[in-house]
Homo-oligomer: A and B are copies of this chain.
């Protein structure tokens, strides 16, 4: 069920002039983001550094909110475009840069802007970084080395480790590579980076993986005879898109993590946590008017104002209808009542679907469809220029 406060905010935006022509928008509930940051703040130990993964949502009002939160150490970016945005909100030392296939220009920009560190994902990147430091007379730079661990994380939304991957350096080769990297005079390997999966709901699955990583780091440290100050173990905190009341247990995760840290005597290490989805996903709503309802071969189709050009859903999201009590356009106008329907965008492609076979209690042309949990990988992932429809506006609300 949609919160009353959100419904109120939606109805305010619907009354605006923009909605008459372009009846669709995103709405971000800033209070939800703040409560996520508070939750993390309450349970995270002092040696946890929280970075916001900008790729989840780069809306500037969200960035401003996150920047101001005392618990947020900075922002994790993955392109020159994100660097540009990051530097207009954060200090360079608050920026960390990860991602495979960084262009030489991106490495150069990052080094010249003296961001906190780059995570190097291959020897090629390390050589390029070293050469650029020399060319620009930058002294010495901190980097992390990204490992692709031999670990298949359980029940994750997306696997990024344990398989042949473009990301990081295989665990089996990491010692050889590190020994080469440690020889560079102008590069300081400040730590290691691993990001094996995302969207994990069971905190125990993530803890097992963290324990694996801690063991791996200890092994590497002992073989290389060297201590790493930073372990960036990525993100992974999941969101329950199905609303089946499953929640990633932040308190239990951090409590057990503390025990792991004590066991490994890692209290002097900085543990970097990159969270994107967990912080913004549940704050976002996509709203569109119902443009038409059609019956075809025994099935009703609800057509809304935006499809994959506004939102590319890869799973079922909670969907609510807000009745608007619009006048009938004509007498026999189709409506939906207690039935399983398709919800689709306006593009002339069958793939342009929002949801299939979803049960809708009641819906009429002119009512609002509200899709929840779209604050991460929503607006940014959409095919925004497809068919040249106007882009959805992005509004924020509920800032305390």
A→B interface (CB under 8 Å): 20-23, 54-55, 58, 78-82, 84-85, 98-103, 105, 121-125, 127-128, 131, 148, 158-160, 163-167, 169-170, 195, 291-299, 301, 303-305, 312, 329-330, 332-334, 342, 344-351, 365, 379-390
Contacts and interface: CB of A to CB of B under 8 A. Distances in A.
Nearest to A124: B292
B365 A98 contact: no
A166 to B, nearest CB: 4
A148 to B, nearest CB: 6
Contact of A55 (B165, B297, B332, B387): B387
B305 A81 contact: no
Contact of A98 (B165, B348, B350, B384): B348
Contact of A387 (B123, B292, B380): B380
A333 to B, nearest CB: 7
A295 to B, nearest CB: 8
A365 B122 CA distance: 13
Contacts of A55: 348, 386-387
Contacts of A329: 124, 127-128, 131
24 contacts: A55-B348, A81-B390, A98-B348, A99-B347, A99-B387, A100-B292, A100-B348, A101-B303, A101-B305, A101-B344, A102-B291, A103-B346, A123-B332, A124-B330, A124-B334, A131-B329, A165-B296, A167-B348, A170-B295, A170-B296, A170-B297, A312-B383, A381-B386, A382-B385
Given A124-B330, A365-B124, A105 B21 contact: yes
A332 B292 CA distance: 60
A78 B301 CA distance: 19
B124 A333 contact: yes
A345 B384 contact: no
- Scoring A131, A291, A365, A382 by chain B CB atoms within 10 A of each residue's CB, the highest score goes to A291
B125 A292 contact: yes
Instruction: Across the A-B interface, give the 7 residue pairs with the lowest CB-CB distance, nearest first.
Output: A81-B388, A101-B346, A101-B303, A164-B297, A166-B301, A164-B299, A101-B291
Given A303-B101, A330-B124, A165 B385 contact: no
A127 B331 CA distance: 10
A128 B327 CA distance: 13
Contacts of A124: 292-294, 329-330, 333-334, 365
A376 B90 CA distance: 39
Given A292-B101, A365-B124, A381 B380 contact: no
A102 B346 contact: yes
B384 A301 contact: no
B312 A166 contact: no
A80 B348 contact: no
Contacts of A305: 101, 103
